[in-house]
Amino acid sequence: MPLFVQNQQDKVPVPDGFEGLLARLTELALQQEKVGQEAEIGITLVDDSEIHRLNKDYRGVDSPTDVLSFALRDESQEEPVIAGAEEDHLLGDVVISMETALRQSCEYGHSLEREVGFLAVHGMLHLLGYDHPTEEERERMYLREEAVLNAAGLTR
Protein backbone atom coordinates (compact mmCIF):
# COMPACT_ATOMS: atom_id res chain seq x y z
CA MET A 1 0.00 0.00 0.00
CA PRO A 2 1.77 3.12 -1.20
CA LEU A 3 1.44 5.99 1.27
CA PHE A 4 3.16 9.28 0.60
CA VAL A 5 3.62 11.54 3.63
CA GLN A 6 4.92 15.08 3.28
CA ASN A 7 5.60 17.47 6.12
CA GLN A 8 5.24 20.98 4.68
CA GLN A 9 5.21 22.87 7.97
CA ASP A 10 7.72 23.69 10.67
CA LYS A 11 5.51 24.95 13.48
CA VAL A 12 4.76 21.63 15.20
CA PRO A 13 7.54 19.04 15.58
CA VAL A 14 6.58 15.74 14.00
CA PRO A 15 7.40 12.88 16.39
CA ASP A 16 9.69 10.03 15.30
CA GLY A 17 7.75 7.12 13.91
CA PHE A 18 4.85 9.30 12.74
CA GLU A 19 5.02 8.08 9.16
CA GLY A 20 4.88 4.47 10.39
CA LEU A 21 1.82 5.27 12.49
CA LEU A 22 0.06 6.86 9.51
CA ALA A 23 0.96 3.87 7.33
CA ARG A 24 -0.45 1.48 9.94
CA LEU A 25 -3.70 3.47 10.21
CA THR A 26 -4.02 3.63 6.44
CA GLU A 27 -3.49 -0.10 6.13
CA LEU A 28 -6.04 -0.87 8.87
CA ALA A 29 -8.64 1.44 7.34
CA LEU A 30 -8.20 -0.11 3.89
CA GLN A 31 -8.42 -3.63 5.36
CA GLN A 32 -11.55 -2.84 7.35
CA GLU A 33 -13.18 -1.21 4.33
CA LYS A 34 -12.11 -4.13 2.11
CA VAL A 35 -10.10 -1.94 -0.24
CA GLY A 36 -7.14 -3.49 -2.00
CA GLN A 37 -3.72 -2.78 -0.55
CA GLU A 38 -2.59 -1.39 -3.90
CA ALA A 39 -4.53 1.82 -3.18
CA GLU A 40 -2.36 4.95 -3.10
CA ILE A 41 -2.93 7.79 -0.66
CA GLY A 42 -1.05 11.01 0.05
CA ILE A 43 -1.02 12.70 3.45
CA THR A 44 0.34 16.23 3.70
CA LEU A 45 1.00 17.94 7.03
CA VAL A 46 0.60 21.73 6.85
CA ASP A 47 0.14 24.74 9.14
CA ASP A 48 -3.04 26.73 9.76
CA SER A 49 -2.30 29.38 7.14
CA GLU A 50 -1.90 26.77 4.37
CA ILE A 51 -5.02 24.81 5.29
CA HIS A 52 -6.88 28.14 5.52
CA ARG A 53 -5.80 28.94 1.96
CA LEU A 54 -6.83 25.49 0.71
CA ASN A 55 -10.17 25.67 2.52
CA LYS A 56 -10.90 29.06 0.97
CA ASP A 57 -9.72 28.12 -2.53
CA TYR A 58 -11.44 24.72 -2.75
CA ARG A 59 -14.43 24.97 -0.41
CA GLY A 60 -15.11 28.70 -0.31
CA VAL A 61 -14.71 28.67 3.49
CA ASP A 62 -12.56 31.57 4.71
CA SER A 63 -11.12 29.94 7.83
CA PRO A 64 -8.69 27.19 8.79
CA THR A 65 -9.91 23.67 9.47
CA ASP A 66 -8.31 20.53 10.84
CA VAL A 67 -8.42 18.20 7.83
CA LEU A 68 -9.30 18.31 4.15
CA SER A 69 -9.72 15.42 1.72
CA PHE A 70 -9.25 15.58 -2.02
CA ALA A 71 -10.65 12.44 -3.62
CA LEU A 72 -9.27 11.51 -7.02
CA ARG A 73 -12.05 9.02 -7.65
CA ASP A 74 -15.10 11.19 -7.28
CA GLU A 75 -18.00 9.34 -8.82
CA SER A 76 -20.10 12.39 -9.51
CA GLN A 77 -21.96 12.49 -12.78
CA GLU A 78 -19.87 15.44 -13.96
CA GLU A 79 -16.74 13.29 -14.09
CA PRO A 80 -15.89 11.85 -17.52
CA VAL A 81 -15.31 8.13 -17.81
CA ILE A 82 -11.64 7.48 -18.47
CA ALA A 83 -10.63 4.36 -20.34
CA GLY A 84 -8.37 2.18 -18.19
CA ALA A 85 -9.23 4.07 -14.99
CA GLU A 86 -10.06 0.82 -13.26
CA GLU A 87 -6.32 0.14 -13.16
CA ASP A 88 -5.65 3.44 -11.44
CA HIS A 89 -5.35 2.96 -7.68
CA LEU A 90 -4.99 6.58 -6.61
CA LEU A 91 -7.56 7.36 -3.91
CA GLY A 92 -6.55 10.94 -3.21
CA ASP A 93 -4.93 13.20 -0.69
CA VAL A 94 -5.55 14.08 2.94
CA VAL A 95 -4.24 17.42 4.25
CA ILE A 96 -3.90 17.86 8.02
CA SER A 97 -3.16 21.07 9.91
CA MET A 98 -0.62 20.18 12.56
CA GLU A 99 -1.27 23.43 14.46
CA THR A 100 -4.97 22.66 14.74
CA ALA A 101 -4.25 19.02 15.57
CA LEU A 102 -1.99 20.11 18.43
CA ARG A 103 -4.62 22.51 19.82
CA GLN A 104 -7.36 19.88 19.55
CA SER A 105 -5.23 17.20 21.21
CA CYS A 106 -4.82 19.54 24.20
CA GLU A 107 -8.53 20.43 24.24
CA TYR A 108 -9.59 16.77 24.10
CA GLY A 109 -6.93 15.59 26.53
CA HIS A 110 -5.22 13.02 24.34
CA SER A 111 -1.92 12.71 22.49
CA LEU A 112 -0.95 14.47 19.28
CA GLU A 113 -0.54 11.03 17.72
CA ARG A 114 -4.14 10.13 18.56
CA GLU A 115 -5.46 13.42 17.15
CA VAL A 116 -3.48 13.26 13.91
CA GLY A 117 -4.41 9.57 13.64
CA PHE A 118 -8.08 10.47 14.00
CA LEU A 119 -7.79 13.22 11.38
CA ALA A 120 -5.97 10.90 8.97
CA VAL A 121 -8.60 8.18 9.33
CA HIS A 122 -11.42 10.74 9.04
CA GLY A 123 -9.88 12.09 5.85
CA MET A 124 -9.32 8.61 4.44
CA LEU A 125 -12.92 7.64 5.06
CA HIS A 126 -13.96 10.70 3.06
CA LEU A 127 -11.74 9.43 0.24
CA LEU A 128 -13.60 6.12 0.46
CA GLY A 129 -17.00 7.80 0.10
CA TYR A 130 -18.07 8.41 3.70
CA ASP A 131 -19.62 11.75 4.62
CA HIS A 132 -21.48 13.19 7.60
CA PRO A 133 -24.25 15.60 6.60
CA THR A 134 -26.87 13.76 8.68
CA GLU A 135 -26.79 12.41 12.23
CA GLU A 136 -27.13 8.83 10.95
CA GLU A 137 -24.17 9.26 8.56
CA ARG A 138 -22.12 10.99 11.28
CA GLU A 139 -22.69 8.03 13.60
CA ARG A 140 -21.80 5.52 10.85
CA MET A 141 -18.57 7.39 10.08
CA TYR A 142 -17.72 7.79 13.78
CA LEU A 143 -18.07 4.04 14.35
CA ARG A 144 -15.73 3.32 11.42
CA GLU A 145 -13.18 5.86 12.73
CA GLU A 146 -13.23 4.39 16.22
CA ALA A 147 -12.88 0.83 14.89
CA VAL A 148 -9.69 1.75 13.02
CA LEU A 149 -8.25 3.80 15.89
CA ASN A 150 -9.02 1.10 18.44
CA ALA A 151 -7.41 -1.57 16.23
CA ALA A 152 -4.29 0.61 16.17
CA GLY A 153 -4.36 1.08 19.95
CA LEU A 154 -5.15 4.80 19.73
CA THR A 155 -7.97 4.92 22.24
CA ARG A 156 -9.30 8.01 23.97
Flag whether 156 is in a domain: no
Per-residue model confidence (pLDDT) at position 100: 98
Flag whether 116 is in a domain: yes
pTM: 0.89
Chain segment 134-143, per-residue pLDDT in tens: 999 999 999 9
Flag whether 65 is in a domain: yes
Number of independent structural domains in the chain: 1
Read off the CATH number of the domain in which 38 is found. 3.40.390.30
* Segments forming the whole domain that contains residue 77: 3-151
Flag whether 61 is in a domain: yes
Flag whether 123 is in a domain: yes
More confident residue, 39 or 83: 39
The Cα 27–Cα 117 span in angstroms is 12
The Cα 97–Cα 156 span in angstroms is 20
Flag whether 143 is in a domain: yes
